[in-house]
Chain A
Amino acid sequence: MEAKAIEAFLLPLSQSGLFELLSPTPPGWGGNLLRGLFNSVQIALGAFGLGLAIGTAGAYGKLYGGPVIRDLLEVYTTIMRAVPELVMILLLYYAGTDLVNRALQGFGYSPIDISGLVAGIAVLGIVQGAYATEVLRGAILAIPQGQIEAARAYGMSPSLLMRRITLPAMLPFAIPGLANLWLIATKDTALLAVVGFNELTLETRQAAGSTKAYFTFFMAAGVLYLLLTLFSNVIIGRIERWSRRGMPSVAGGH
């Protein structure tokens, strides 16, 4: 009786042909998932890089910019941190390409074709930029003021100061926040599924819809995302140790 119940429970699971479905070569759908994962990582890398660039400029603007720039940056970071990414993605995805093309036409250039990959990177990058601005601003503020003053007293130019003093000195303070942003970037790529970009989540949904094996595929995609996160954590740990070389071990233990 009991054996039968267990059998009734396990049979449907074994019937779903787990390994055939997930095999990396057709007719298995594993290849699609891996391709989606590759796209997701690509977008996450691009968005994180763009966010870092915006964040650096934003942090400097917030700290040393004029009053107008500071206010505008405040508006930017407030909006990005309060409005759901999903809404921003839709707004920037439709409006962004439209505006870029209209601006180009206004200046007499021919409209360009913005691929889903670039649009995705731009949209997530702009959202990431707001968070990166705050992280980097906090990190720059955490540098002991004396270091910057000493560099100025030596007559360092602003660009040299940024390259040799500010950036390296703020790195240990910025890395935990930036690491968190990277993890958010990898997960936010899933939201691009809503605008039809073929990243891991959409590939998974298509595979699941075509084979009706929803549970199997969503679990498989979850494992892939988790592996990505765990792998990132290992790398982040190394970077963190590297950035703290030569510093007393108390840093970060708040």
Chain B
Amino acid sequence: MQDLPRRALRIPPHRIGLLVAASALVIFAALFMRWDWLPDYYGLALAGLWRTIWILVVTCVLGFVIAVPLGLAQAGGPLWLALPARAFCTTIRGTPLLLQLWLLYFGLGSLFPQYPWIRESELWPYLRQAWPYAVLSLTLSFAAYEGEVMRGAFAGVPRGQLEAARAFGMRRSAILRRIWLPQAIHRALPTLTGETVLQLKATPLVATITVVDIYAVAGRVRQDTFIIYEPLLLLALVYLCIAGIIVFAFRRLEARIPARLG
């Protein structure tokens, strides 16, 4: 009986071997690769990291808010709502995000000179900058992918429950608010982890339209110092950590929500 707690702690021997190999790699990297550029780019890297996380959080939240009506329209909306929602999801999911980003930033930008009144409009201070385009296109992308998930989630809520609610004389808005939406969101929650990590993987694209995120900072280091591998390796590690935090946070969140509603 005594070795029960010990067994829980014991690491299998092959893992020890792997861990030793991994630490040897890390030590090798720390000793024999060039890291002297780190102090110079420390501040820039932090600002870039902040911008990456900021864009990730904002676009995921906004995207999800749009995804709910998109899913609802496709699952139970009238045809004149379902068709445009379907077309939107298909178009966004059927074309590369990089292209959407460039279409919004450079494509729209190239039309500005032909419509001088745009520069006098109140939106101009925002249209001038790059980040609104980044946020817009990442939000639309997240909304389209998650909208597809929400469509399945709305459709997956058992019909009987909705019929029972109707039999109780609940109004349509109340059914949506109290029964349909909570259950659909609950069904979609497990996919959110994956979708958020995918969104994280999409964020470096914003660097191509002059938004200085963490990826852009790594690019800057490469371009300034011609050191190729070190910034990229560190960058990969940073993304791994952020992805790890996302997975961990969602697991905590899911654990707090009871597996069965009601």
Contact = CB atoms under 8 A, between A and B. Distances in A.
A binds B: yes
Interface of A: 9, 12, 66-68, 71-72, 78-79, 81-88, 90-91, 94-95, 183, 187-191, 193-194, 201, 204-205, 208, 212-215, 218-219, 221-222, 225-226, 228-230
Contacts of A94: 228-229, 232
A226 B236 contact: no
B107 A83 contact: no
B99 A201 contact: yes
A82 B239 contact: yes
Contacts of B215: 84, 86-87
Contact of B110 (A68, A82, A201, A212): A212
Contacts of B111: 12, 215
Contact of A87 (B107, B110, B239): B239
B201 A218 contact: no
21 contacts: A9-B115, A12-B114, A12-B115, A81-B197, A82-B197, A82-B243, A82-B244, A83-B240, A83-B243, A84-B200, A84-B201, A84-B215, A85-B201, A86-B204, A87-B239, A187-B97, A201-B98, A214-B107, A218-B102, A222-B91, A229-B93
B103 interface: yes
B34 to A, nearest CB: 15
Nearest to A191: B98
A204 B98 CA distance: 12
B201 A222 contact: no
- Tell me if A's interface is mostly helix, strand, loop or mixed: helix
B102 A87 contact: no
A83 B236 contact: yes
A249 B94 CA distance: 27
B99 A218 contact: yes
Contact of B103 (A81, A222, A230): A222
Contacts of B99: 190, 201, 204, 218, 221-222, 225
B229 A215 contact: no
A91 B232 contact: yes
A66 B95 CA distance: 40
Contacts of B136: none
Contacts of B125: none
B235 interface: yes
A97 B220 CA distance: 22
A78 B239 CA distance: 11
B35 interface: no
B249 to A, nearest CB: 14
B110 A84 contact: no
Contacts of A218: 99, 102-103, 106-107
Contacts of B204: 84, 86-87
B91 A213 contact: no
Nearest to A9: B115
B223 to A, nearest CB: 12
Nearest to B222: A90
A91 B230 CA distance: 10
B240 A79 contact: yes
B259 interface: no
B205 A86 contact: yes
